[in-house]
Amino acid sequence: MPYEETMTSKERVMNALAGLPVDRTPVSNPTNVATVELMDMVDAPFPDSCRDPELNAQLAATGYTELGYDSIQPYFTIIQESSALGCEMQWEQKDNWPTVRMSNPIWKSESDVKIPSNFLEHRDMVSVTGAIEILKKQFGDEVAIIGKSMGPWTLAYHVFGVETFLLMTIDDPAMTIRILDKLKEATYLFANAQIAAGADAVCIPDHATGDLVSGEYYKRFLQDIHTEMADEIAAPLILHICGRTLDRMPYIAQTGMASFHFDSRNDPQEAMDAVDGGIGLVGNINNPETLYSRGPEQVREEVYACLEAGVQMIAPECAIPLQTKLQNLLAIPDAVKDWSAERL
Amino acid sequence: MTSLELLSAREVVDRYGDCVELVPMDPNFHDISVGLYERDGISTVWTFSRKPGVEERMRDIVARLVTLGGMEITDTWNQLRFPCGHLHTRPLKFLTTAAIERTAERDRPEELQIQDSKSALMIDLTGEQVGDRYVYRVSTTGEARNPALRLRAIIAGFVRYGEMEKIDDTSVAFPCGQRHDGLARLILPYSRNISAVEDALEADAMRGQMTTSTLGFAST
């Protein structure tokens, strides 16, 4: 007998984030699901849909209306704030991600760090807050709307350049901490603006990634900031960090954030063991191999591995490749529902 | 079906099967994405775009798949198959790209000869029925330091990109055993330089992927 769904998508996601019971594990997308085919379906191609609230909302909604995920994520890139801060942008074409030209950073020292007074009015910020307002009106409490606000570590990469910023952490750790403290104000401003617009939860990507930064680095520079964010921002927070992150998961689990969006380079069971109930997990279906170039059966295997480990929300590990084929994206909710029918 | 319907993502996958090839931007029609979906040996040309003129463009692509690759249209205008019934998955990738990204002016439908990219040799492809299968023979003319070595490399290219079976050091055949001059002609330029083709395919695959490398968040 098929199991019965008794919750709305929003209830399912919000309960999972709060550690409460769910009728089935939610399928979420803390860092978005946009593809070139979905762009064509609603005539909202990149980069225009990254810069226009209406187009943004139309494309973001397809994650729920077409794919059947339990949340909508209307911030596709990781560069909206950096554009508003004045970074040089490369907006690219429909089939590629907009990026910051980090070879030409805008700031050199601590004294340069200033958040513009009209930060939230910049068109690339309004494209997100405006989209959330539209989506909230359209869907009400039917589906969870997840905002996104870049953490100070990611912003520092963009405004100082990756190499310069990482050298700074070695040469002058005290100044690095002061810079992160200044930059975190941008995170607060944008997160709070999205909550005011109707976001139910906020993803905080802060790319202290496994291939660049150690777990001890995370503890030293970011754990306190993330703990403060969990206290200060009035919505459940989902931290996102790419790469192998098992070494920092015990620290992340102490921050008070609701969930950690983790990468496929971490085994789901090992990740669950590492956080030891201190924080929920969301992930971790592999993007470059499984979703991009394999088929629904391989997707299903990874979904089942996450569910067997007890991962609280199922999602691609990061923003999906823009050429991901639809059958693989549809296979995620299909697999969750099949597993639920078998086990519940 | 006589025209492009409005279908959801789920309906397209349920009706037409899995997307096996996806061209993200059609340079000849408003940068729309075009997918080739496959079910039970039938390939369906599909796009979610509904820009004015899109159906005419889909018909044009279908016609090019017939002209360039020797596919045949089934009972439905946007569905095709190879007459042999085989899928020819790998060469279909190159066929799809050529049908969508190239224009007719760049087609060379009769050409089974090409200049080698790594030597002064001219590469010729000829075919003949041998027993129960059609065999393609590769030969070279002109001067080069080691033509036999180049021939072996080109044969390896046909095996790799055409999913062909190597018969000997100079000849190959499609796994269905049938004649596919269109596919052989399309694979010929790629067979000359595997490393360059691999680099190009890898670059295509990385485009649109958000990774620490593509975002500049990597040490290398």
For residue B176, what is the domain's CATH number? 3.30.1360
* pLDDT at residue A124, rounded to an integer: 98
Expressed as residue numbers, the domain containing B169 is: 113-194
Same domain, B88 and B14: yes
Strand B133-141 versus strand B113-115 pairing type: unpaired
Same domain, B96 and B123: no
Give how far Cα A324 sits from Cα of A126, A136, A199, A298, B129, Å: 28, 27, 26, 14, 41
The one-letter amino acid code at B97 reads: T
A38: chain B residues, CB-CB within 8 Å: 9, 48
Same domain, B43 and B25: yes
Which residue among B22, B214, B218 sits closest to A97, beta carbon to beta carbon? B214
B19: chain A residues, CB-CB within 8 Å: 37, 325-327
The residue count of chain B comes to: 220
- How near does any CA of chain B get to the CA of A20, in Å? 31
- Locate B17 and state its tokens: 């099967």
Is B212 within 8 Å of chain A by CB?
Answer: yes
* pTM for the whole structure: 0.94
Question: Contact A327/A300 with Cβ under 8 angstroms?
Answer: no
Does the pLDDT of residue B1 top 60, yes or no?
no
* pLDDT at residue B214, rounded to an integer: 65
Answer whether B212 sits within 8 Å of A41, measured CB to CB.
Answer: no
A287: chain B residues, CB-CB within 8 Å: 209-211
Instruction: Report phi then psi at A315, rounded to 5.
Output: -160, 160
* Residue B206 counted as domain residue: no
* pLDDT at residue B3, rounded to an integer: 80
CATH 3.40.50.970 matches A9-343: no
Which residue among A40, A320, A327 sits closest to B48, beta carbon to beta carbon? A40
Give how far Cα A194 sits from Cα of A51, A69, A188, Å: 16, 20, 10
Answer whether B205 sits within 8 Å of A95, measured CB to CB.
Answer: no
B50: chain A residues, CB-CB within 8 Å: 43
- How near does any CA of chain B get to the CA of A335, in Å? 14
Between the CA atoms of A10, A15, A21 and A26, what dihedral angle is there, to the nearest 10 degrees? 50
- How near does any CA of chain A get to the CA of B184, in Å? 25
A318: chain B residues, CB-CB within 8 Å: 210-211
* Residue B50 counted as domain residue: yes
Which residue among B24, B207, B217 sits closest to A157, beta carbon to beta carbon? B217
Number of A:B CB contacts under 8 A? 116
Last residue of a domain, one of B106, B121, B156: B106
* pLDDT at residue B118, rounded to an integer: 83
Is A101 within 8 Å of chain B by CB?
Answer: no
Same domain, B118 and B83: no
CA–CA dist B177, B188 (Å, integer): 18
* pLDDT at residue A12, rounded to an integer: 98
Is B213 within 8 Å of chain A by CB?
Answer: no
**Confidence band, pLDDT 50/70/90 cuts, at residue B79:** very high
* Residue B208 counted as domain residue: no
What ipTM does the predicted assembly reach?
0.93
Q: Percent of chain B scored above 90 by pLDDT?
A: 69
Last residue of a domain, one of B106, B137, B156: B106
CA–CA dist B174, B127 (Å, integer): 11
Same domain, B82 and B125: no
Max intra-chain CA distance, chain A = 64
Residues 6+ apart with CB under 8 A from B75: none
A45: chain B residues, CB-CB within 8 Å: 31
Which one of A89, A326, A328, A330 would you mutate to disrupt binding with B, by most B Cβ within 10 Å of its Cβ? A326
Which residue among A40, A211, A293 sits closest to B218, beta carbon to beta carbon? A211
Q: Indicate the DSSP class of residue A246.
A: G
3-state helix, strand, coil in chain B (%, to 5): 35, 25, 40
* pLDDT at residue A1, rounded to an integer: 55
Question: Contact A95/A320 with Cβ under 8 angstroms?
Answer: no
Is A335 within 8 Å of chain B by CB?
Answer: no
A207: chain B residues, CB-CB within 8 Å: 212, 215, 217
Same domain, B119 and B45: no
Is A157 within 8 Å of chain B by CB?
Answer: yes
Q: Helix count (H) and strand count (E) of chain A?
A: 16, 9
Instruction: Report phi then psi at A222, rounded to 5.
Output: -120, -25
Interface of A with B in 133-152 (CB under 8 A): none
* Residue B219 counted as domain residue: no
Same domain, B17 and B81: yes
Strand B34-39 versus strand B42-46 pairing type: antiparallel
Answer whether A212 sits within 8 Å of B35, measured CB to CB.
Answer: no
Answer whether B33 sits within 8 Å of A39, measured CB to CB.
Answer: yes
* pLDDT at residue B195, rounded to an integer: 84
The one-letter amino acid code at A270 reads: E
Same domain, B117 and B188: yes
pLDDT for B47-75, tens place per residue? 999 999 999 999 999 999 999 999 999 99
* Residue B3 counted as domain residue: no
CA–CA dist B196, B145 (Å, integer): 21
A295: chain B residues, CB-CB within 8 Å: 18
* pLDDT at residue A264, rounded to an integer: 96
Does the pLDDT of residue B196 top 90, yes or no?
no
Domains contained in chain B, number: 2
With CA atoms as reference, the chain B residue closest to A100 would be: B215
The pLDDT tens digits along chain A (344 residues) read 567 899 999 999 999 999 999 999 999 989 989 999 999 999 999 999 999 999 999 999 999 999 999 999 999 999 999 999 999 999 999 999 999 988 889 999 999 999 999 999 999 999 999 999 999 999 999 999 999 999 999 999 999 999 999 999 999 999 999 999 999 999 999 999 999 999 999 999 999 998 889 999 999 999 999 999 999 999 999 999 999 999 999 999 999 999 999 999 999 999 999 999 999 999 999 999 999 999 999 999 999 999 999 999 999 999 899 999 999 999 999 999 999 999 87
CA–CA dist B209, A287 (Å, integer): 8
Give how far Cα A163 sits from Cα of A104, A106, A156, B216, Å: 12, 14, 11, 10
Same domain, B189 and B140: yes
Does the pLDDT of residue B39 top 90, yes or no?
yes
Is B113 within 8 Å of chain A by CB?
Answer: no
With CA atoms as reference, the chain B residue closest to A288 would be: B209
Answer whether A36 sits within 8 Å of B24, measured CB to CB.
Answer: yes
Answer whether A66 sits within 8 Å of B8, measured CB to CB.
Answer: yes
Which residue among A212, A296, A330 sits closest to B10, beta carbon to beta carbon? A330
Residues 6+ apart with CB under 8 A from A118: none
Is A72 within 8 Å of chain B by CB?
Answer: no
Same domain, B99 and B133: no
A31: chain B residues, CB-CB within 8 Å: 210
CA–CA dist B134, B127 (Å, integer): 7
The average confidence (pLDDT) of chain B is 90
A162: chain B residues, CB-CB within 8 Å: 216-217
Does the pLDDT of residue B111 top 80, yes or no?
no
Last residue of a domain, one of B44, B72, B106: B106
